[in-house]
Structure 1
Amino acid sequence: MEENASAFDVFELNMSNDVLGFLKETSTWTYFLSILGFIGIGLMVIFGLLFSTILGSMTDANPYEQVGFNTGYLGLIYVAMALLYFFPVYYLYNFSRKMKTALRMKNNDDFSAAFSNLKSHYKFVGILTIVIISLYVLLFFFALIGASAF
């Protein structure tokens, strides 16, 4: 019987020391950027809760009071954005951590897991970009419809 082997099963990749150096440097920079991302997420949560508390207590300066909207909810948008931003930063952090371990210990499982996290990072960012562009297009068409009504 003949085994069904995909092209990836028989493909062997030999990496030069230059490529390994590039991966090590990349993992260092992605680690730095992921730490900055976690700091940014923490600040977004703190400021979002702070804005929510401050704006929620200012009932006399609420321009949207007549429509029943409390401006304290605006701070929660920052918290929601921080939650959304957490996942790509977490994937980037995992990539850098796994890549450093894979290069230090010469472990193929960690090497594979590192690139799996990098794939997840870019997939999340790509899908988020598509969603945001779609929202912009929808808002543009609603703005055109609203402007033509006047």
Structure 2
Amino acid sequence: MDNFEEIKPELQEDAEVDALWITEDIRSYIYDAAKWTRFLSIVGFVLTAMFVMSAFSVGAMLSTLSTTMPGNPMLKLGSTVWTIIYLLFALLQFYPSFLLYKFSTSATKAVLFADQPSLGEAISKLKSFFKFWGILTIVIIALYILMIVLFVTTGGQAPA
């Protein structure tokens, strides 16, 4: 990281008008962010693996639940539906973890080797990560609003 030479234009006409300069401080921040995103992505991959293992063991969990609590409403959905739900959660965990991992590897390469295309790829993955969470947040807020509207219109009564 010490072998990077910061280049500044001598005259304003030498530089592009829309150019950004990556200072040593900025490089340090990107490098630190890359380390943390690598850690978070690994944790996300572990959680994804746990969701997948849970998805394929949901049948055993439901059979145990049926013996201990035979009237449990979770049993009505069946093991196939619960497997699909767990796999959906695994996918929702895997995709942002993958984006964070790609950001981490590209950002580290960009900082260590002063590689501009890698920095562009890293920022692209970071943008995709935040776009994913933004869309997911909008969906969750919409579902909450829908639940509130349904609760108000049904007067708080559970369907018969």
TM-score, with length taken from structure 1:
0.82
Q: 1:80 aligned to 2:67?
A: no
The secondary structure found in structure 1 opposite 2:140 is: helix
Distance 1:52 1:117 in 2: 37
Q: CA deviation digits over 1:52-109, x for unaligned, max 9? A: 44315765625449xx934323343222111122111111110001000111111110
Structure 1: unaligned runs, 5 residues or longer: 1-8
Distance 1:34 1:148 in 2: 41
Structure 2: unaligned runs, 5 residues or longer: 1-15
Q: 1:24 aligned to 2:31?
A: yes
Q: Where do residues 3-14 of structure 1 align in structure 2 (5 Å cutoff)? A: 10-14=17-21
Quick one: structure 1 residues 148 and 100, their matched pair in 2 at CA, closer, same or farther if it must change by over 3 Å? Answer: closer
Quick one: structure 1 residues 56 and 76, their matched pair in 2 at CA, closer, same or farther if it must change by over 3 Å? Answer: farther
Contact 1:95 1:115 (8 Å CA) reproduced: yes
Alignment partner, residue 46 of structure 2: 39
Alignment partner, residue 115 of structure 2: 107
Distance 2:106 2:78 in 1: 43
Distance 1:130 1:56 in 2: 36
Alignment partner, residue 6 of structure 2: none
Q: CA deviation digits over 1:36-57, x for unaligned, max 9? A: 0000111111122212443157
**What amino acid is the match of 2:107?**
M
The secondary structure found in structure 2 opposite 1:147 is: coil
- Coordinate RMSD, CA, aligned: 2.4
**What amino acid is the match of 1:43?**
M
Contact 1:98 1:114 (8 Å CA) reproduced: yes
Quick one: structure 1 residues 80 and 52, their matched pair in 2 at CA, closer, same or farther if it must change by over 3 Å? Answer: farther
Alignment partner, residue 4 of structure 2: none
Alignment partner, residue 144 of structure 1: 152
Identity of aligned residues (%): 31
TM-score, with length taken from structure 2:
0.77
The secondary structure found in structure 2 opposite 1:94 is: helix
The secondary structure found in structure 2 opposite 1:35 is: helix
Cα deviation for residue 30 of structure 1 reads 0.5
Structure with the larger RCO, 1 or 2 (CA within 8 Å, 6+ apart): 2
Quick one: structure 1 residues 142 and 93, their matched pair in 2 at CA, closer, same or farther if it must change by over 3 Å? Answer: same
Distance 2:112 2:118 in 1: 10
